[in-house]
Chain A
């Protein structure tokens, strides 16, 4: 089983619908992230969390919200989905105690299509 698991892996929805993407990890890492990837735009940080009580906005947080339900779980919500939120979404974790603070461990991705 993957250390960082995302559900759903694929989702097609309509404009205005509420969508939740879920992420769970078994790596024991405190830091968790949500990124989106668009063709030609690379990976962009949406939100990040250092622990259950510490949640921070990334560079493109508008239109998104997150919830850190536990150390191992970090969910991303789109309250009212719009077509330009169609993208590939990645959850990631990192362990700052290991020294290599730039190493992110990614989930398999959730492909979201908003019609």
Chain B
């Protein structure tokens, strides 16, 4: 079955540490995205990539970094520069720019700073 896999499901980070969230898809989708969800805030775009070896900042990219070395993979690193990293992180992918059929989302990673 094709899908998008995020790991781990839960992640705990000490203050000052960098952590990397994994996102893998086997849907042969061109575009991949990272969103952050906070209570009452909806989904906010962190980074997106329309093609391998290229990515663009979204609305809240500060304190985050990404890479897109393979079509299937789009890992997100939450750096120590991110002041409020505790949130639910969602990865998504789309064929083209996801018009009529939108994006396919992973099941999310909940990151907690301890």
Partners in one complex: no
**B residues apposed to A, CB below 8 Å:** none
**A residues apposed to B, CB below 8 Å:** none
